[in-house]
């Protein structure tokens, strides 16, 4: 059974009655398998949060259907199986971390004794055990994000939906959230999260979907999405003569040198192979490999727009 099944989901809105309705989502169809980490990608304004709000019952669709573990979104069974953390989770500032989780556990109808035990376990799980008695007004952004994940799983849901869980975090905070997501997957949970931080998605997701202007552009595993073509090749060499280095420079697209030697980048595989062969014969091969396309490269190539054009398009949507 799919954890999430979306079929023809469409959402149109208008800010004022005299304005034309705009589509935040257009005929979105998507399947998320049980037990995977699924990244929902797109720039700000692409329709990610709209989709998530529909999935968790905070917003209704104009057309289409969506199910969670076979239950229609908005149903009691659907909500029971789903945990959710919004992009900017709000907490009662004067509660401690333990009190806050006990409160959310009570909202999920957990027994009082279980709430306290579950709070301790979850704070340990997200790395906040030492802050259990700290009031939330003293929490940093990263601590709030980790507490947000804890409240999303307080009732042990099978599906966890996170909206921009790494937004605004420093590298340490992002790593802690990534580790929490991977730990949840190891326990059998399905994680569906939106993000525009593509490097994080590339590191932890099994599959991902790319959304732009409310339309699904592509979906698949990382190896499927990233360009399988051998785009560029790098060859690191040292100890070659000036003449040999000059010949390699003629064929290379670019090069950079340091105390260890020179790294040449070639567009053609044949040129890279010839350079590597020469370096091996001179006992001067330092490294050889293909430069793989990054997820950010894929995003720019697939949308067919520059970063400035993408930001302007989404600014137009928000107006």
C-alpha–C-alpha distance, residues 236 and 261, integer Å:
7
> Residues 210-225: pLDDT tens digits?
888 888 888 888 777 7
The answer to whether the CB of 126 falls within 8 A of the CB of 149 is yes
- Residues 6 or more apart whose CB falls under 8 angstroms from that of 68 comprise 3, 4, 5, 55, 78, 81, 82, 159
The answer to whether the CB of 29 falls within 8 A of the CB of 7 is yes
Is pLDDT of 230 > 60? no
The answer to whether the CB of 160 falls within 8 A of the CB of 35 is no
C-alpha–C-alpha distance, residues 78 and 227, integer Å:
36
Assign 185 to helix, strand or coil.
Answer: helix
| Domain residue extents for the chain | 2-225, 232-291
Residue found by looking up tokens 């029971």 in the block:
80
C-alpha–C-alpha distance, residues 305 and 291, integer Å:
22
Average pLDDT in the 75-103 region?
91
Query: To the nearest whole percent, how much of the chain has pLDDT over 90?
Result: 35
To which CATH superfamily is domain 2-225 assigned?
Answer: P-loop containing nucleotide triphosphate hydrolases (3.40.50.300)
> Residues 151-205: pLDDT tens digits?
999 999 999 999 988 877 788 888 888 888 999 999 999 999 998 777 788 889 9
Is pLDDT of 319 > 70? no
Instruction: Write phi, then psi, for 164 (nearest 5 degrees).
Output: 50, 60
Question: Average pLDDT over the chain, rounded to whole?
Answer: 85
Nearest one of 193, 200, 5 to 84, comparing CA atoms? 193
Instruction: Return the structure tokens found at 95.
Output: 């509660």
Is pLDDT of 135 > 60? yes
Helix 112-125 to helix 97-107 angle (10° resolution) is 130
pLDDT score of 8:
93
The separation between CA 65 and the C-alpha centre of its own chain, rounded to angstroms, equals: 24
C-alpha–C-alpha distance, residues 266 and 250, integer Å:
10
What does each C-alpha distance from 91 to 85, 95, 99, 308 come to in angstroms? 12, 8, 11, 35
The answer to whether the CB of 4 falls within 8 A of the CB of 32 is yes
Instruction: Write phi, then psi, for 243 (nearest 5 degrees).
Output: -65, -40
> Residues 250-302: pLDDT tens digits?
989 888 888 888 999 888 888 989 999 898 988 888 888 877 666 666 666 67
- Residues 6 or more apart whose CB falls under 8 angstroms from that of 18 comprise none
Q: Which pTM value belongs to this model?
A: 0.76
CA dihedral 128, 133, 139, 145 (to 10 degrees): 40
* Number of neighbours of residue 211 by Cβ within 10 angstroms: 24
- CA-based angle 222:228:229, to the nearest 5? 155
The separation between CA 242 and the C-alpha centre of its own chain, rounded to angstroms, equals: 46
State whether CATH 3.30.70 applies to domain 232-291: yes
Average pLDDT in the 36-48 region?
88
């Amino acid at each position: 059974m799919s954890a999430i099944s979306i079929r023809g989901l469409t959402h149109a809105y208008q800010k004022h009655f005299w304005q034309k309705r705009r589509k935040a989502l257009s005929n979105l169809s998507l399947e998320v398998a049980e037990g995977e980490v699924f990244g929902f990608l797109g720039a700000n304004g692409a329709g990610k949060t709209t989709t998530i709000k529909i999935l968790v019952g905070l917003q209704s669709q104009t057309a289409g259907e969506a199910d969670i573990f076979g239950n229609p979104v908005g149903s009691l069974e659907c909500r029971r199986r789903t945990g959710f953390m919004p992009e900017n989770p709000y907490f009662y500032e004067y509660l401690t971390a333990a009190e806050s989780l006990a409160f959310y556990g009570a909202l999920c109808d957990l027994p009082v004794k279980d709430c306290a035990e579950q709070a301790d376990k979850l704070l340990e799980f997200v790395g906040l055990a030492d802050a259990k008695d700290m009031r939330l007004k003293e929490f940093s952004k990263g601590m709030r994000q980790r507490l947000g994940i804890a409240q999303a799983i307080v009732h042990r849901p099978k599906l966890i939906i996170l909206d921009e869980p790494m937004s605004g975090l420093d590298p340490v905070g992002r790593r802690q959230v990534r580790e929490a997501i991977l730990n949840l997957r190891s326990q059998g949970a399905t994680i569906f999260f939106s993000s525009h931080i593509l490097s994080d998605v590339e590191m932890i997701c099994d599959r991902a979907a790319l959304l732009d202007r409310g339309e699904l552009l592509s979906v698949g595993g990382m190896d499927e999405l990233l360009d399988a073509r051998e785009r560029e090749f790098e060859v690191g060499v040292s100890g070659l003569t000036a003449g040999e280095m000059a010949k390699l420079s003629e064929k290379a697209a670019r090069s950079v040198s340091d105390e260890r030697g020179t790294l040449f980048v070639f567009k053609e595989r044949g040129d890279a192979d010839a350079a590597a062969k020469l370096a091996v014969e001179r006992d001067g091969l330092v490294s050889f490999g293909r430069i793989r396309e990054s997820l950010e490269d894929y995003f720019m190539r697939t949308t067919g727009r520059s970063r400035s054009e993408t930001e302007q398009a989404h600014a137009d949507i928000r107006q």
